[in-house]
Structure 1
Amino acid sequence: MTVTVEADRDAGVAVVVLDDPAKHNALDLATVVELIAVWRDLRFDDTIRAVVLTGAGTRAFCTGIDRNAEVPQPASPYAVDDPLAAMGPKSNDLWKPVIAAVNGMACGGAFYLLGESEFIVADEDATFFDPHTTYGMVSAYETMYLAQRMPYGEVARMALMGTAERVSARRAYETGLVSELAPPGEAVPAAVACARTLASYPPTAVEGTVRALWTTRQALLAQTLPQAPHLVSLGNLAPDAQQGLFTGRRPPDAHRLR
């Protein structure tokens, strides 16, 4: 089991934990299936009225898809089978508010989950980055989600700079990606405190507000996300070439913080 749920039914709050810290909470296909099942189950649990999403351990919230995951792809250049595209709470019809609590690294495919969260609380020592371009992959879904939260130039820099630099939690807060900074190790308690407040309100009003917010974002995403598979299919290097970059490339200025 790589997704665990800690439910405080008296408070009306569930903490969903990506629970594979040895792999930096990377997502294999089984974990994606588990996560989808969690979101869909939470729709029917009336004792839970708000959700916190986080990663186990201190090193990472989530580092995207596990590089060892086998993801068969269709032969057509117009289609990409992306297992992460439908793993978020909104993609699974969950309209209870979801607050992301980011500890350590959040990168790559983690932005699918952050993009479908209402807001983000981060440890002061958390970092954000998008490694796609460094390893010959198009950052499409990730940038489309991030562009809903951050100024264009900030999204462009994060996506294009790849592994050459990491965005500090402070910078993410200044540019709108993060809504609250917490002392190291305190992001989850801070997010739970927000969730307890939301859970104390009439749930239909809260869920209706979440749906209204998402409807505004969805209007733009509905135009952009369908373009992502084509961009990825056309722009990604072949898997063997990507793997060569993963094993052989180490940028000299990797991990520079800004």
Structure 2
Amino acid sequence: MTETPIKTKRDGAVLEVTLDRPKANAIDLATSRIMGEIFRDFRDDPELRVAIITGAGEKFFCPGWDLKAAADGDAVDGDYGVGGFGGLQELRGLNKPIIAAVNGICCGGGLELALSADIIIAAEHATFALPEIRSGTVADAASIKLPKRIPYHIAMEMLFTGRWLDSAEAARWGMINHIHPADQLMAKAREMATLIASGPPLVNEAIKEIVREAENMKFQDAMNKITQSQFETVDVLYNSEDQLEGARAFAEKRAPVWKGK
């Protein structure tokens, strides 16, 4: 039986997803489809609240598209699966927090995968680039996302030249949240995931939907959509037991007990 290229581990409300395709953790069509199924199931599982995406080993997080598979017939415009490339970029309704723990080289579609997460932490030796320009193709998702995440001129330099950033420079431009020694990276990712998972899940879901849907909206239009109950997650939150629990816990000077309903 062929060993799966994706390893998963559940720890309470946290799901760890590890890309494990030696030598470089590149993603082919079959792997992308598996990732889409994993993240779809994560989205739909009420017991899971936060996911961590990382790579196996210490050298590569992910270099993106598997060029060897492409040479063997994998079409670049083929069926990536329910969530698009890497299972995250186009997965509809994914309103749960995702942490990318970048453990090494993160480039091309691998960087696009990391940019699909909500929080990015990286090992000290991690490096980042969009080298597609050198092979005569476009980093399409990154061309949309990166100029919105970091200063425009830095994003355009990366896209036009393919130059590499070390973790310190990536943090300086705001591409990543935190840098950790390699041997502490997963412990720190789990610590953050546990902290987030301990919070009110309905609020986390509302935050994700608001941020995603309001990205290209005018402020007042987004606020009107909230007040008119046009964000499903916000409407659920405002009519939930957890909304009352937060107020009661504050009044009773105790820790709230979130039920996610």
TM-score by length of 1: 0.75
The one-letter code matched in structure 1 to 2:88 is: P
The one-letter code matched in structure 2 to 1:4 is: K
Counterparts of residues 1-258 of structure 1 (less than 5 Å): 1-9=4-12, 12-20=13-21, 22-69=22-69, 70-72=73-75, 83=80, 86-87=84-85, 88-89=87-88, 91-92=90-91, 93-162=93-162, 165-217=163-215
Contact 1:111/1:146 (<8 A) preserved: no
Where in structure 1 are there 5+ consecutive unaligned residues?
Answer: 74-79, 221-258
1:82 and 1:219, CA in 2 relative to 1: closer, same or farther beyond 3 A? farther
1:5 and 1:219, CA in 2 relative to 1: closer, same or farther beyond 3 A? farther
After TM superposition, give the deviation of residue 91 of structure 1 in Å. Answer: 2.1
Contact 2:29/2:79 (<8 A) preserved: no
After TM superposition, give the deviation of residue 90 of structure 1 in Å. Answer: 5.6
After TM superposition, give the deviation of residue 81 of structure 1 in Å. Answer: 5.0
Contact 1:120/1:180 (<8 A) preserved: yes
Partner Cα separation in structure 1 for residue 111 and residue 155 of structure 2:
12
Contact 2:126/2:167 (<8 A) preserved: yes
Partner Cα separation in structure 1 for residue 25 and residue 216 of structure 2:
27
1:246 alignment partner in structure 2: none
After TM superposition, give the deviation of residue 114 of structure 1 in Å. Answer: 1.7
After TM superposition, give the deviation of residue 219 of structure 1 in Å. Answer: 5.5
Report which of the two structures shows the higher radius of gyration computed on alpha carbons: 2
Question: What's the % identity of the aligned pairs?
Answer: 32
The one-letter code matched in structure 1 to 2:98 is: V
After TM superposition, give the deviation of residue 208 of structure 1 in Å. Answer: 0.8
Partner Cα separation in structure 1 for residue 114 and residue 30 of structure 2:
20
The one-letter code matched in structure 2 to 1:206 is: N
Moved beyond 4 Å, runs of 4+: none
1:219 and 1:27, CA in 2 relative to 1: closer, same or farther beyond 3 A? farther
Task: Indicate the larger mover: 112-121 or 86-95.
Answer: 86-95
The number of equivalent residue pairs is 209
Larger RCO, structure (CA 8 Å, separation 6 or more): 1
Contact 1:103/1:185 (<8 A) preserved: no
Partner Cα separation in structure 2 for residue 168 and residue 7 of structure 1:
31
After TM superposition, give the deviation of residue 147 of structure 1 in Å. Answer: 1.5
Partner Cα separation in structure 1 for residue 217 and residue 68 of structure 2:
35
After TM superposition, give the deviation of residue 187 of structure 1 in Å. Answer: 2.1
TM-score by length of 2: 0.74
Partner Cα separation in structure 2 for residue 161 and residue 25 of structure 1:
24
